[in-house]
């Protein structure tokens, strides 16, 4: 668990604090996304957690321990850190890069080698192929995988991720988001994730903290933020299409129903979002999809079921958001 209590940080020569009396709690195993416009304090807050920046006031506790009572070097070695630029050592092999923290902690060589191979396999990089390569031989997506493996090497309970997929092309970015979300949640890490992309925040976060001018405007689940923005700024920030965004955190598996009839031709994975399903329906002209998990059938998903998920707290037709959603439904009807 991470407790942030009345946190304040103001840099010299600035008119206002970068972080202004911020208070929030991140539960064990939870992905907390910090998001807001440039200069809102999201990266500063994250960097205070591992004491790369010292706070002016307030308290940060990691696993009930005040970070200011911990040795900074020891603290940082116990917290995984992934950044957009990755920061791999160019003259070290991939195995040497992943082993950075275990070596600093004095792990035995055999244990370190086994951990490196385990983690490369976990992030989808065959150790036999990649362990002796150098960073210059990898693509941007592969470098990011190595960065995550390195952050996980010493099995830290907490991970900080600062726009880790920001420099990657959109197709690779989406795939890495999906893969790492499964990995990190399976490992039950407590994660502070910084992004400027609201769609990424909705997809990756268990809870989202929306910041402005160093202050916290709203801290809640993606579903509740999209359904009930705290104020006009949050409403504008999440976008006029927030009714569609509300489909992103909901998986097809949760909305599928069992049927005794023949399954539709087109199908979708149960882990995909309802927004993905709606896009596929528009592409194929179908209003029903088969839902599967591997070889197992989970039933079917209908356009009507998707509509039901957007009815609650839905804006009136005539507003920008409501009209936009109705145009999507109308388009789906036209293609059938």
**Closest to 206 (Cα-Cα) out of 195, 191, 221:** 221
Say how many C-beta atoms besides its own lie within 10 A of residue 102's C-beta.
Answer: 21
Joined together, the tokens standing for residue 315 give: 């804006």
Per-residue model confidence (pLDDT) at position 59:
96
Q: How big is the chain, counted in residues? A: 336
**Closest to 292 (Cα-Cα) out of 253, 262, 261, 248:** 253
Reported as a pLDDT band with limits 50, 70 and 90, residue 146 is: very high
pTM (two decimals): 0.77
Per-residue model confidence (pLDDT) at position 312:
52
Average pLDDT value for residue range 216-229? 91
Per-residue model confidence (pLDDT) at position 32:
96
Say how many C-beta atoms besides its own lie within 10 A of residue 33's C-beta.
Answer: 25
> Which residues 6+ apart lie within 8 Å of 300 measured at CB?
256, 257, 259, 263, 264, 288, 289, 290, 291
- In order, the DSSP letters of 213-232 are TTEEEEEE-HHHHHHS-SSH
d(CA 172, CA 160): 21
Reported as a pLDDT band with limits 50, 70 and 90, residue 120 is: very high
d(CA 164, CA 66): 27
- In order, the DSSP letters of 186-222 are HTT-EEEEE-S-HHHHHHH-SEEEEEETTEEEEEE-H
pLDDT (tens digit per residue) in 242-293: 777 788 888 899 999 887 767 788 999 998 888 889 889 988 888 899 999 9
Per-residue model confidence (pLDDT) at position 217:
96
How many CA atoms are closer than 13 Å to the CA of 118, on its beta-carbon side?
Answer: 12
Angle in degrees, 0-180, between the axes of helices 140-152 and 109-122, rounded to the nearest 10:
130
């Amino acid at each position: 668990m991470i407790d942030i209590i009345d946190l304040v940080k103001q840099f010299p020569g600035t008119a206002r604090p970068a972080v202004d009396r911020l208070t929030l709690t991140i539960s064990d195993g939870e992905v907390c996304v910090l998001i807001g416009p440039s200069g809102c304090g999201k990266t500063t807050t994250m960097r205070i957690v591992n004491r790369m920046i010292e706070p002016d006031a307030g308290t940060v506790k990691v696993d009930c321990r005040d970070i200011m009572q911990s040795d900074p070097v020891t603290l940082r070695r116990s917290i995984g850190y992934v950044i957009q630029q990755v920061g791999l050592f160019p003259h070290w092999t991939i195995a040497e890069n992943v082993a950075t923290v275990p070596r600093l902690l004095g792990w035995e060589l055999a244990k370190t080698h086994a951990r490196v191979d385990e983690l490369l396999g976990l992030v989808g990089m065959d150790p036999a192929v990649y362990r002796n390569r150098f960073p210059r031989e990898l693509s941007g997506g592969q470098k990011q995988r190595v960065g995550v493996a390195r952050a996980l090497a010493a099995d830290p309970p907490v991970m900080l991720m600062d726009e880790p997929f920001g420099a990657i092309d959109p197709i690779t970015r989406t795939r890495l988001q999906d893969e790492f979300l499964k990995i990190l949640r399976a490992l039950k890490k407590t994660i502070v994730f910084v992004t400027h992309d609201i769609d990424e925040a909705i997809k990756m976060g268990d809870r989202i903290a929306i910041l402005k001018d160093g202050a916290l405007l709203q801290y809640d689940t993606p579903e509740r933020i999209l359904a009930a923005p705290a104020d006009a700024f949050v409403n504008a920030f999440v976008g006029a299409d927030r009714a569609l965004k509300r489909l992103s955190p909901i998986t097809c598996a949760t909305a599928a129903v069992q049927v005794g009839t023949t399954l539709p031709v087109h199908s979708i994975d149960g882990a995909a979002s309802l927004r993905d399903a709606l896009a596929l329906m528009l592409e194929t002209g179908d209003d029903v999809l088969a839902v599967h998990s591997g070889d197992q059938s989970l039933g079917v998903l209908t356009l009507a079921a998707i509509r039901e998920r957007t009815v609650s707290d839905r804006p009136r037709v005539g507003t920008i958001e409501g009209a936009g959603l109705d145009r999507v439904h109308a388009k789906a009807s036209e293609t059938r």
